[in-house]
């Protein structure tokens, strides 16, 4: 029994670690909604394995463990050999197999020791907690690919514990030797730069199409994979996050002569509004330091650069010889923290709060519609507003005018709640956008000012925008076309948004932080997934009613299906909002993940252990009390 519990603990740890590793791997080559399928894939695979166990109950657990270990090796080989992101279905199908093997083994163990299911379930859940922690440690140390072979070795070791013959031991030593040898040679490896058919928002692949481009360095952490890429342009290098979000690393960014080319960029425009001496700036999402270089170029003396990813900051600092030590210049304070959390905990005020939000994953609204973003919410804008000096400004650089308009309307909503009328608030905002090129790539600038715009300020700002190929979509005392109904008081803000319903321009909040959801309703990919899920649920319920309960004594057992279905739904309904809230509280997404998922799993494991202390007839009354507590 003890050996079975340890085996189940190990299998659960391996299963959850594998799920996290797959999520990190596929984030580099697939779009986010395909990556989210990994969670569904793991559950489907475990269910498939359990179903197979009901058909073949007499299989030897040791042999199944050996086969599962081989399946992990097969996934590693498949990721190496299949070099097309268009083969998404094949990649997902291959990735499903180890989950099925794990589910098969779990079912065999639970069936054999059904009388001790409470202890086994606790071991299963505690193993999941261990797997979550283990996966994050493995990614930080070895990346997301090499640990696949380590997981294969771990399952092979479980096979030794469950087997009586020698073959399992021989297999374990073979897999362990393979993992060690491959870590030295890298013959089996994940090389995303060789993939074809990658989505357009994975812009690293477009950069690597340049014959002069090359990946100089790669780093993994639980947050993302970072690739430092050089191109034929000697003035800058690029750090790509999961092959998509690009941060610019400026050559000699501390030298005004070397970084002077940045003045011609539209993203530099907001810095012209800041004092050129004795000023202060807060950079939200400092990336690889380009925004800090622009602030220094303007002459701003006190700069606070906030970046959530410590690996990105470390990578930039390790290339100080190239950047000029941009994060450690006199007057520059670099803070590793979540931007929102930092703002909530800081009492400092700034002349300019700046966020350059142009990153490729969000270039097409449909690809990030349900990605949470707490930078743009009503509560965030209020926090920024309260950290401005009397003459301070907030500035955002966005991908295109639609984003800019939604953010501008969000600013009006925030200012109205701060006590202004909409007519007064309109004198405190501005929206600038490039005039040519792809409408989805016309960079826009949104400015929110503490003081109302003056006519000379507006004229100078418009002239600087024109010099950079941009025009004023809305600028007080210069161009107010388009917002006339608001300026004249003919419509309220809500009425104006409702009248422009082609896009979802409703201000976002912390409870609904989906800034990039520009189309009303659910995104098509999610709607299709819901239809498929409902169809599968209907098939399952039909099987439950017409097949499983044909015998009269099965009705009570069949009714448990509803209980477990609701239990699974309840977990997700609790887990998702808790992760969102804890991310704001703990600053780091990884810590939020560990705290919430680890806490839920550990709590459930303890509940399983304590369930033995209650008679079966008392459990229906104890469960609601525990839920209310």
Q: Average pLDDT over the chain, rounded to whole?
A: 84
Lowest mean pLDDT, pick from 50-64, 383-397, 446-460: 50-64
Share of the chain above pLDDT 70, in %: 88
What's the rounded Cα separation, in Å, for the pair 508 and 411? Answer: 10
Of the options 3.40.50.10140, 3.40.50.150, 3.30.2270.10, 3.30.450.370, the CATH number for the domain spanning 265-312+328-499: 3.40.50.150
Domain boundaries, the chain: 1-194, 265-312+328-499, 526-629
pLDDT grade for 563, boundaries at 50, 70 and 90 = confident
Q: What is the pLDDT of residues 207-262, one digit of tens each?
A: 888 888 999 999 998 878 999 999 988 899 999 988 887 889 999 988 889 999 99
Output the pLDDT for position 271. Answer: 94
pTM score above 0.95: no
Alpha helices in 401-543 (DSSP H): 401-417, 422-425, 455-467, 484-487, 493-499, 524-543
Residue written as tokens 């490729």? 360
Asked if the domains at 1-194 and 265-312+328-499 fall in one CATH topology, the answer is no
CB 297 within 8 Å of CB 259: yes
Q: Dihedrals φ, ψ of 141, to 5°? A: -90, -40
Polymer length in residues for the chain: 629
Output the pLDDT for position 461. Answer: 94
Q: What is the pLDDT of residues 134-145, one digit of tens each?
A: 988 899 888 889
Confirm or reject CATH 1.20.1250 for domain 1-194, answering yes or no.
Answer: yes
Q: What is the pLDDT of residues 49-107, one digit of tens each?
A: 887 887 777 778 888 899 999 999 999 999 899 888 778 778 888 988 999 999 988 88
What's the rounded Cα separation, in Å, for the pair 289 and 304? Answer: 11
H or E element in which residue 155 lies = helix 147-162
Measure Cα distances from 284 to 291, 305, 310 in Å.
Answer: 9, 6, 14
pLDDT grade for 206, boundaries at 50, 70 and 90 = confident
Lowest mean pLDDT, pick from 138-147, 152-161, 235-244, 523-532: 523-532
**What would the two tokens of residue 228 be?**
């430092």
Residue range 20-25: mean pLDDT, rounded: 87
pLDDT grade for 112, boundaries at 50, 70 and 90 = confident
Q: What is the pLDDT of residues 490-520, one digit of tens each?
A: 888 988 888 887 888 889 888 888 787 777 7
Q: Dihedrals φ, ψ of 541, to 5°? A: -65, -35
pLDDT grade for 330, boundaries at 50, 70 and 90 = very high
């Amino acid at each position: 029994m003890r050996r079975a519990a340890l085996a189940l603990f190990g299998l659960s740890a391996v299963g959850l670690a594998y799920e996290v590793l797959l999520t990190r791997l596929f984030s580099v080559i697939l779009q986010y909604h395909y990556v989210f399928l990994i969670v569904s894939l793991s559950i489907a695979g475990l269910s498939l394995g359990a179903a197979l166990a009901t058909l073949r109950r007499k299989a030897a657990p040791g042999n199944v463990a050996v086969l599962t270990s081989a399946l992990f090796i097969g996934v590693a080989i498949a990721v190496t050999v299949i070099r097309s992101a268009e083969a998404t279905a094949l990649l997902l199908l291959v990735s499903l197999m180890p989950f099925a093997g794990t589910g098969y083994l779990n079912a065999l163990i639970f069936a054999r020791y059904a009388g001790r299911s409470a202890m086994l379930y606790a071991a299963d859940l505690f193993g999941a907690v261990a797997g979550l922690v283990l996966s994050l440690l493995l990614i930080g140390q070895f990346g997301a690919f090499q640990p696949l072979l380590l997981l294969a070795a771990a399952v092979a070791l479980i096979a030794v514990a469950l087997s009586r013959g020698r073959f399992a031991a021989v297999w374990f030593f073979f897999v362990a030797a393979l993992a060690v040898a491959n870590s030295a040679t890298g013959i089996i490896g994940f090389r995303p730069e060789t993939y074809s058919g990658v989505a357009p928002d994975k812009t690293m692949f477009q950069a690597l199409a340049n014959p002069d481009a090359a990946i100089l360095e790669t780093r993994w952490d639980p947050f993302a994979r970072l690739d430092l890429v050089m191109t034929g342009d000697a003035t800058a290098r690029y750090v790509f996050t999961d092959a998509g979000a690009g941060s610019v690393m400026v050559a000699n960014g501390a030298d005004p002569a070397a970084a002077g080319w940045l003045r011609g960029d539209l993203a530099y425009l907001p810095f012209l509004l800041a004092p050129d001496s004795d000023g202060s700036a807060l950079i939200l999402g400092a990336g690889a330091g380009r925004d800090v270089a622009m602030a220094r170029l303007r002459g701003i003396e006190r700069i606070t650069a906030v970046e959530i990813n410590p690996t990105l900051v470390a990578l930039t600092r390790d290339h100080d010889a190239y950047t000029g030590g941009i994060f450690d210049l006199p007057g520059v304070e670099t803070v590793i923290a979540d931007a929102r959390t930092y703002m909530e905990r800081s009492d400092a005020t700034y002349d300019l709060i700046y966020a350059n939000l142009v990153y490729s994953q969000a270039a097409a609204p449909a690809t990030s519609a349900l990605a949470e973003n707490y930078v743009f919410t009503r509560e965030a804008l209020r926090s920024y507003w309260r950290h401005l000096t009397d003459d301070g400004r907030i500035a955002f650089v966005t991908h295109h005018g639609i984003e800019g308009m939604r953010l501008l309307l969000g600013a009006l909503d925030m200012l109205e709640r701060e006590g202004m009328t909409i007519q007064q608030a309109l004198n405190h905002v501005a929206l600038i956008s490039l005039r040519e090129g792809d409408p989805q790539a016309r960079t826009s600038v949104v400015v929110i000012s503490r003081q109302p715009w003056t006519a000379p300020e507006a004229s100078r700002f418009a002239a600087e925008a024109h010099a950079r190929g941009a025009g004023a979509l809305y600028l007080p005392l210069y161009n107010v076309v388009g917002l006339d109904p608001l300026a004249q008081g003919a419509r309220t803000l809500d009425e104006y948004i409702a009248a422009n319903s082609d896009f979802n321009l409703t201000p976002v909040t912390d409870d609904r932080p989906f800034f990039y959801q520009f189309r009303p309703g659910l995104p098509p990919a999610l709607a299709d997934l819901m239809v498929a899920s409902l169809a599968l649920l209907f098939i399952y319920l039909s099987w439950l009613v017409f097949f499983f309960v044909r015998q009269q004594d099965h009705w009570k057992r069949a009714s448990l299906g509803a209980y477990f279905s609701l239990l699974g739904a309840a977990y997700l309904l609790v887990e998702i909002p808790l992760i969102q809230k804890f991310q704001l509280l703990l600053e780091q997404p990884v810590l939020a993940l560990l705290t919430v998922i680890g806490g839920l799993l550990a709590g459930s494991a303890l509940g399983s252990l304590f369930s033995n202390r209650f008679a079966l007839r008392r459990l229906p009354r104890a469960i609601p009390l525990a839920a209310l507590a």
